[in-house]
Structure 1
Amino acid sequence: MPLPLYLLAVAVFAMGTSEFMLAGLLPDIASDLGVTVGTAGSLTSAFAIGMIVGAPLVAVLARNWPRRTSLLGFVLVFTAAHALGAVTTGFPVLFATRVVAALANAGFLAVALTAAVGLVPPDRKGRALAVLLSGTTVAMVAGVPGGAALGALLGWRATFWAVALLCLPAALGVLRGIPAGRDAAGVTGRPALRAELAQLTRPPLVLVMLLGALVNAATFGSLTFLAPVVTGSAGLGEWWISVALVLFGAGSFTGVTVAGRLSDRRPGRVVALGGPLLLVGWPALAVLADEPVALFILLFVQGALSFAVGSTLVARVLHEAAGAPTMAGSYATAALNVGAAAGPVTAAAALGSPAGESGPLWASGLLVAVALLIAFPALPTITAGQSSEVPG
């Protein structure tokens, strides 16, 4: 894999850390800026909304720009937003920087998804996406716990500065590794915007976007409410929450890495085998949540399966949206973030059910079940036109 691809993954790591890091910083932010913890929690919602709206909106605005210009611009805006957030003394300004950072994150990921596959031969697209998305999984393993520790030692502002500094190698990677010029950007001879948006009426594309959203909703629904499972159902201390998150993140990294090698050749098999295992895993986790050893093993396994299936579906979105070369990445990004936003809402409702702390786990199983009911009758459609099914 080319070095620029790994530097793009560093940016995804920084942005993933930023997206998830607030969970451990909210009390300090609230105290420092004179707001309630509940009000500070709106920073998370601001980022999520910015990601959902930003992916297609920013992609439309940037479709006439060369990819190098777009990626560099998004990285610099993201960096500036965190630098401003680190020095502000007012909550409204911090809130605004989170929205701006989310828009830049969405735009960067949308363009980076298509740029990543352009850096490698066609038969290695899945592996390229795996490298790029591994930035998110490493953020869960190291970035979020590291950010929380840095915030505890030096204050929440130090974490914002750290995220900003992490973007500098990525900016260098964009300058050195992404070709300049309009032709390299893929804008010469591109379809009209109306034609690219019309791709959203194609059933195969809508199908894989829906499946990606459902699987991601299941993943982030349970992940958001993992803490009550660890401290409630398993009866462990609060510091074990970090252990659980690291194990889930380590599994995610394993899953996205393995799937990257398989999704180029056998995407149907990844979905057909990984999907049912993922379905069984969430209820098993709910039933065995009171057994710490089983809980931690299953968290690793579910992280691996969730990201293996999810990253394969991302690759299929890009394949089905081949007729929208400047918008395909935004379609994949929007699908993933719709799931990331809808999953916690569904899980929160389940948290108030008789299942209690295990409710979100059961809800995740239900979401995966719906995805599989849709996916299996349409499996030939999901893998149609993919040369990757050739043995090798």
Structure 2
Amino acid sequence: MILLVRIIRVRSNGVPDVPLPLLSLLLVVFSLTTGEFVIAGILPDVAGDLAVSVPAAGRLVTAYALGMIVGGPVVTALTARLPRKPLIAGLITVSILGNLGSAAAPDYPVLLAARFVAGLVVATFFAVAIATAVSMAEPGREASTIAKVALGLNLGIVLGTPIGTLIGQDLGWRATFASVAAITAVALPMVLRLVPARPGATGSVLGELRVFSGRDVRLAIVLTALGNVGVVTVFTYIAPLLTKLAGFGSGAVPVLLLVYGAGAVIGNFAGGRLSDRALMPSLIWLLTALAAALALFWAVSDVRALAAVLTFALGLLAFAIIPGMQARVLTSAGAAPTLAVAVNASGFQVAAAVAGWLGGALIAGPGLRAIFPAAALLTVAGLAVAVHIHRHDTRPAPAKV
């Protein structure tokens, strides 16, 4: 935790410049993200210890994602009127208990249930964190402010996931989930001290839900789900893809996750700046580049040097699209941004849930290598949605008679 804060402080003299309230939110996002993505690095260990197949272990990602899919709209709607600080404390406490339950799970079904519980509150916390950050942002800087909170996502991959993988390899995968719970518990009092107290929503739950009657909000959520499902599928099975196709040893996986995370950090801030300048055009070009990178990875996945370079490129492009997608939801949501962002986070988790199932089905069918072209095609589908949204935005208004 001290190392993480020092890294952020050094970078705060340069590009990120993260204020203390955003920093405290970032640290919780870091721990929650580590808990979500670290399964990618310990997937073979979990499968071996619990005597299940790798595709079955991949469904642990689906269970966590389903928790976020359910929790995003339900938990956010039910807690919309609660003051923010007590709500944050409750959400983080549930996450801690879910990760402790994962560490102590005696068998695969209990671990599935614990991952579901851990995921229930994450979308709501992300939504509260992003809405809080945007409320403190300067006009026209919303996407780059979101990127500052989303730095926690990047660091969860660049630091949390490889460190969690090393812990799992040395001390067992249960120690990984216990460590995530510990980091989250340390971050909680920082949020309660530094984040300004804010009231909950004043309207009714029904009023909040009306935000989804808008076409723009619905399309923004579809864009998030389709635009991310391909690359999330690749990341879910990154350990076997790198070891069985590219020929890396298992000891290289944490290093390559670090490479992926380094790309994610750069992509996050680049994507935030690009989105501030031209939101939908930047998303279109980034999704195009992501689809091309996935297709290229398929062609050269057995060449170690190129696989390492493309691992970096995937991290960069996968996280460059996130600030713009979140900003699109916020600008479309109007009076109910927290619920819209929470459901958008659920949209991302629809992608994660599909990723766990799809990757397993591809491994059982055409084989591990087929994940790459499938991911590229799904990204192209997300690109088509982005193009449709941009065309609708730029369509001339009907002439008044």
Superposition TM-score tier, normalisation by shorter sequence: 0.7 to 0.9
Counterpart for residue 388 of structure 1 = none
Cα pair 2:162 2:254 within 8 Å, conserved: yes
Counterpart for residue 170 of structure 2 = 153
Cα pair 1:346 1:363 within 8 Å, conserved: no
Counterpart for residue 190 of structure 2 = 173
What is the CA distance between 1:239 and its match in structure 2?
2.7
Judged with a 3 Å threshold, the aligned counterparts in structure 2 of structure 1 residues 329 and 268 are, in CA distance, closer, same or farther, namely closer
What is the CA distance between 1:26 and its match in structure 2?
5.8
What is the CA distance between 1:135 and its match in structure 2?
1.5
Q: Is 1:310 the counterpart of 2:322 in the alignment?
A: yes
CA distance in 1, matches of 2:60, 2:368: 25
Counterpart for residue 58 of structure 1 = 75
Alignment of 1:36-47 (within 5 A): 36-38=51-53, 43-47=60-64
CA distance in 2, matches of 1:245, 1:280: 21
**What amino acid is aligned across from residue 153 of structure 1 in structure 2?**
D
CA distance in 2, matches of 1:334, 1:108: 12
CA distance in 2, matches of 1:29, 1:226: 15
CA distance in 2, matches of 1:229, 1:88: 27
What is the CA distance between 1:59 and its match in structure 2?
0.3
Judged with a 3 Å threshold, the aligned counterparts in structure 2 of structure 1 residues 153 and 276 are, in CA distance, closer, same or farther, namely closer
CA distance in 1, matches of 2:149, 2:20: 11
Match of 1:131 among 148, 153, 162: 148
Judged with a 3 Å threshold, the aligned counterparts in structure 2 of structure 1 residues 134 and 287 are, in CA distance, closer, same or farther, namely same
What is the CA distance between 1:13 and its match in structure 2?
1.2
What is the CA distance between 1:260 and its match in structure 2?
1.6
Cα pair 2:26 2:148 within 8 Å, conserved: yes
Q: Is 1:339 the counterpart of 2:354 in the alignment?
A: no
Give the stretch that moved more between structures: 338-347 or 64-73: 338-347
Match of 1:358 among 351, 369, 379: 369
Judged with a 3 Å threshold, the aligned counterparts in structure 2 of structure 1 residues 29 and 307 are, in CA distance, closer, same or farther, namely closer
Partner SS, residue 187 of structure 1: coil
Match of 2:269 among 257, 260, 263: 257
CA distance in 1, matches of 2:284, 2:47: 46
Q: TM-score, normalised by structure 1?
A: 0.86
**What amino acid is aligned across from residue 343 of structure 1 in structure 2?**
A
Tell me how large the CA RMSD over aligned residues is.
2.7
Partner SS, residue 38 of structure 2: helix
CA distance in 2, matches of 1:88, 1:339: 26
Q: Is 1:140 the counterpart of 2:157 in the alignment?
A: yes
Cα pair 1:75 1:170 within 8 Å, conserved: no
Counterpart for residue 209 of structure 2 = 197
CA distance in 1, matches of 2:288, 2:43: 37
Per-residue CA deviations over 1:32-74 (Å, capped at 9, x if unaligned) read: 7xx5335766544332211111111110111110122211221
Q: Is 1:185 the counterpart of 2:219 in the alignment?
A: no
Per-residue CA deviations over 1:112-169 (Å, capped at 9, x if unaligned) read: 2212212322322212211222222222222122112223333334323321221234
What is the CA distance between 1:337 and its match in structure 2?
0.7
Counterpart for residue 212 of structure 1 = 224
CA distance in 1, matches of 2:245, 2:47: 29
Q: Is 1:240 the counterpart of 2:275 in the alignment?
A: no
CA distance in 1, matches of 2:373, 2:287: 16
Count of residues in correspondence between the two structures = 376
CA distance in 2, matches of 1:353, 1:43: 20
Partner SS, residue 175 of structure 2: helix
Match of 2:36 among 5, 19, 23: 19
Match of 1:71 among 88, 98, 114: 88
CA distance in 2, matches of 1:27, 1:379: 42
What is the CA distance between 1:353 and its match in structure 2?
5.9
Q: Is 1:371 the counterpart of 2:378 in the alignment?
A: no
CA distance in 2, matches of 1:81, 1:237: 31
Cα pair 1:230 1:241 within 8 Å, conserved: yes
Q: Which runs of 5+ in 2 are unaligned?
A: 1-17, 396-401
Partner SS, residue 185 of structure 1: coil
Cα pair 1:233 1:290 within 8 Å, conserved: yes
Counterpart for residue 286 of structure 1 = 298
Q: TM-score, normalised by structure 2?
A: 0.84
CA distance in 2, matches of 1:371, 1:26: 27
Judged with a 3 Å threshold, the aligned counterparts in structure 2 of structure 1 residues 41 and 251 are, in CA distance, closer, same or farther, namely closer
CA distance in 2, matches of 1:105, 1:371: 24
Give the stretch that moved more between structures: 118-127 or 284-293: 118-127
Cα pair 2:227 2:287 within 8 Å, conserved: no
What is the CA distance between 1:19 and its match in structure 2?
1.4
Counterpart for residue 335 of structure 2 = 323
Cα pair 1:347 1:364 within 8 Å, conserved: no
**What amino acid is aligned across from residue 371 of structure 1 in structure 2?**
G
Judged with a 3 Å threshold, the aligned counterparts in structure 2 of structure 1 residues 329 and 202 are, in CA distance, closer, same or farther, namely same
**What amino acid is aligned across from residue 211 of structure 1 in structure 2?**
L
What is the CA distance between 1:90 and its match in structure 2?
6.7
Q: Is 1:271 the counterpart of 2:288 in the alignment?
A: no
CA distance in 2, matches of 1:250, 1:279: 20
CA distance in 2, matches of 1:377, 1:212: 14
Counterpart for residue 116 of structure 2 = 99
